[in-house]
Amino acid sequence: MPKDPQMDDKDRQIIRALQRNGRATNLDIAEAVNLSPSPCLRRIRLLEESGVIQGYRAVVDPRAYGLPVTVFIRIRLERHSAETVALFESRIKAMEEVMECLLMTGPADYLLRVVVAGLEAYETFIRSRIHPIGGIASIDSSFVYGTVKSTGVFPADI
């Protein structure tokens, strides 16, 4: 896959450093990528302004927060009309329990990553939030019972 012509390897090093620690100081990042602080800060600002860096956030343990159940939900729509898709996507975007909604190829149209407080909360979520959307042909759920790897750092070699 071709590299973005506006980004060079130094930009990618900066991004990886920020992905590892979004609270790192400019001085720390500049040291990590072997740049002086001023050019490093200039590059970071350009990455932010261009939308390459979309924001910063805290990575929080969902269990500690009170949301110990993660569910991946595959959803297939009955129809793929513009109206059906727009309704489904707008309703999903408004649901705080949905951490991610991905448009997929294959047997499911969407893959949702949902966090809830427990099985009762999951049942309530499906019955009161998903079912009323309408136009859904199938819902297939898989519950996460452990995490082997979770990272927000992109691979270095692309």
**140 pLDDT tier (thresholds 50, 70, 90):** very high
In which band, very low, low, confident or very high, does the pLDDT at 26 lie, cut at 50, 70 and 90? Answer: very high
Q: End-to-end CA distance of the chain, in Å? A: 8
pLDDT of 3 strictly over 80: no
pLDDT at 149: 96
| Greatest CA separation for the chain | 56
pLDDT for the residue numbered 158: 82
C-alpha to C-alpha distance for 110 and 105, rounded to whole angstroms: 8
Residue 69: Cβ within 10 Å count = 17
What are the residue boundaries of the structural domains of the chain, listed by start? 9-49, 62-143
> Per-residue confidence at 69, pLDDT binned at 50, 70, 90?
very high
Q: Which residues contact 151 (CB under 8 A, 6 or more apart)?
A: none
The pLDDT of residue 22 is above 50: yes
Confidence of residue 1 (pLDDT cuts 50, 70, 90): very low
Distance, in Å, from the CA atom of 31 to the CA atom of 48, rounded to the nearest integer, reads 20
According to the model, what pLDDT value does residue 2 have? 45
Q: What is the pLDDT of residue 82?
A: 96
Residue 75, pLDDT above cutoff 70: yes
Strands 136-143 and 98-103: unpaired
Question: 52-59 long-range contacts, Cβ below 8 Å, gap at least 24?
Answer: 52/4, 52/7, 52/11, 52/15, 53/15, 53/18, 56/18, 56/22, 57/22, 59/152
**H/E element, 111:** strand 110-116
CATH 3.80.30.20 matches 9-49: no
Q: Say yes or no to pLDDT of 18 above 80.
A: yes
User: Taking the model in full, what pTM does it have?
Assistant: 0.89
Check residue 27 and report its DSSP letter: H
List the structure tokens of 136.
């859904």
pLDDT band at 35 (very low <50, low <70, confident <90, very high): very high
User: Average pLDDT for residues 84-104, to the nearest whole number?
Assistant: 98
Mean pLDDT of the chain: 95
Report the DSSP beta bridge partners of residue 7.
none
Task: Give CATH for domain 62-143.
Answer: 3.30.70.920
Tokens of 83: 């109206």
| Cβ neighbours around 44 below 10 Å, total | 20
